[in-house]
Amino acid sequence: MEYSPDYVEFLKMFPECSQTTSLDKLRSSDYARLDRDGHIYLDYTGAGLFAESQVEKHHQLLSSNTFGNPHSSNPTSLASTELVESSRLAILRFFNASPEEYVVIFTGNASGALKLVGESYPFAKGGHYLLTFDNHNSVNGIREYALAHEAEVTYIPMVLPEMSIDESKLGASLNQAKPGQPNLFAYPAQSNFSGRQHSLEWIELAHARDWDVLLDVAAFAPTNTLDLGRWKADFVPISFYKMFGYPTGIGALIARRQALAKLHRPWFAGGTITVASVQGEKHYMADAPSAFEDGTINFLSIPAVKIGLNYIEAIGLEKIHIRVRALTGWLLQELPKIKHKNGKPVLKIYGPLQIDHHGGTIALNFVDAQDNVIDHSYIEARANQVHISLRTGCFCNPGAGEIALGISSGELQSCFTRPSHEAHLSYNEFRLCIDGKASGAVRISVGIASNFSDIEHFINFAKSLTQ
């Protein structure tokens, strides 16, 4: 890593970052492909990056053993079962969740975990689905199950410019739960839009008012410690590729047994039952986790989750957290300083500008010298030219996007109720509807292999767009 004057300043501001030099060593070994190919990777909230050694270990495991379908007692089947079960335990250990209290259900990704909750939660008339504006679409989508079962659906709004949740409204909404009814409250520990971190104290607050709590940690878990021994959320969806890049296609629902007992699966499948009969027209569900894992689980990739967790544990998640916090803090300090020749800022940053309550994700838009938002697809095209991988759009978080970009419910209603938009609306038609407004933003995010040079590249890129 080069030591620019800014880097010296950076270390003065974040002296704890000097404890993270082992990450630079890994960057040049396990992530050597980044610098070899000139990539500036700034999309860790899209997908984490895997270390080469993770893949080598997994390959070695597969090539030196024979693994069969786990649903049997033959030796190759048992070998798979053993690895799958030890991966479950590794996940529980990583999140300090006691096996007596929590169970790990393997899914394809965080969305798969959320769908399991949505389709199985006993939503009913008198029940309630309460969620924050700030949520990924896979959490928003659960509202369709709630509405289909006549449960009430309520969104808690966000407050600008911090993109925080109005705690008085949160308290009032939590008070609306009818005791004894199915009440589910869902929010993200960290916004995948703005990087804003929401309080884990809300879990207890909600429990005390008779809510089950779904805590989406997909964006939080890669760089923050989640202690389920302390923060006892009921349903915790996760995607492992976001934590350590590999494998893709494996997620989990980490569920509190007590809350899981309330779920009713709407169907059964191979692996989810103890007995199913055709002539007897009856089936008996297996215990969790089997009851929630349809068909054959991805038994060859699941062991790679344990390898990934071991990898993170060997580095220390706290070290990754310190690095990500420092890089994000520097960006939050430096980006607002970039100005056009007329003194107007080049960037409009959404969410808090202080590092407290901020994860390693920043959402922003570039604006011209007259304060007009520059289309995010143009920014992406320009970033592509200098090998910066960033993400643009609304990041599947429309609630946060609408608030950040100032798109009102009136504008959305008038767009969605046009006869031509009844059944179909393309993204371009939507842009025309909200004419003159930005329809999305630019998101940069840092992670395990990020270094100061990466963020310097982004700062220089932003400077290159001054007018």
Ligand X SMILES: Cc1ncc(COP(=O)(O)O)c(C=O)c1O
Q: Which stretch binds ligand X (CB under 6 A): 106-114, 116-124, 373-381, 426-434?
A: 106-114
Output the smallest distance, CB 239 to ligand X, in A.
Answer: 3
The residue (of 127 and 188) whose beta carbon lies closer to ligand X is: 188
CB of 447 within 8 A of CB of 222? Answer: yes
Enumerate long-range contacts of 76-82, CB under 8 Å, 24 or more apart.
80/299, 80/300
Binding mask 217-236 for ligand X (x = CB under 6 A): -xx-----------------
Torsions phi, psi for 123 (to 5 deg) = -55, 140
Query: Distance between CA 161 and CA 350 in Å, rounded?
Result: 7
Output the smallest distance, CB 365 to ligand X, in A.
Answer: 19
Query: Distance between CA 26 and CA 323 in Å, rounded?
Result: 13
Query: Distance between CA 181 and CA 211 in Å, rounded?
Result: 9
**CA separation (Å) from 419 to 365, 408, 410, 414, 431?**
32, 20, 16, 10, 17
The yes or no reply on residue 239 touching ligand X (CB under 6 A) is: yes
Binding residues for ligand X, total number by CB under 6 A: 12
Query: Distance between CA 146 and CA 126 in Å, rounded?
Result: 11
- CA 71, 73, 79, 81 torsion-angle sign: positive
Output the smallest distance, CB 298 to ligand X, in A.
Answer: 14
Please choose, from the candidates 308, 259, 250, the residue with its C-alpha nearest in 3D space to the C-alpha of residue 288: 259
Binding mask 267-296 for ligand X (x = CB under 6 A): ------------------------------
Binding mask 136-155 for ligand X (x = CB under 6 A): x-x-----------------
The yes or no reply on residue 111 touching ligand X (CB under 6 A) is: yes
CB of 431 within 8 A of CB of 437? Answer: no
Active site residues per annotation: 396
Output the smallest distance, CB 391 to ligand X, in A.
Answer: 9
The yes or no reply on residue 441 touching ligand X (CB under 6 A) is: no
The yes or no reply on residue 456 touching ligand X (CB under 6 A) is: no
The yes or no reply on residue 391 touching ligand X (CB under 6 A) is: no
Tell me the three state secondary structure of residue 406: coil
Binding mask 173-212 for ligand X (x = CB under 6 A): ---------------x---x--------------------
Output the smallest distance, CB 112 to ligand X, in A.
Answer: 7
Q: Which stretch binds ligand X (CB under 6 A): 108-116, 195-203, 225-233, 271-279?
A: 108-116
Query: Distance between CA 208 and CA 289 in Å, rounded?
Result: 27
The yes or no reply on residue 358 touching ligand X (CB under 6 A) is: no
Binding residues vs ligand X (CB under 6 A): 45, 109-111, 136, 138, 188, 192, 216, 218-219, 239
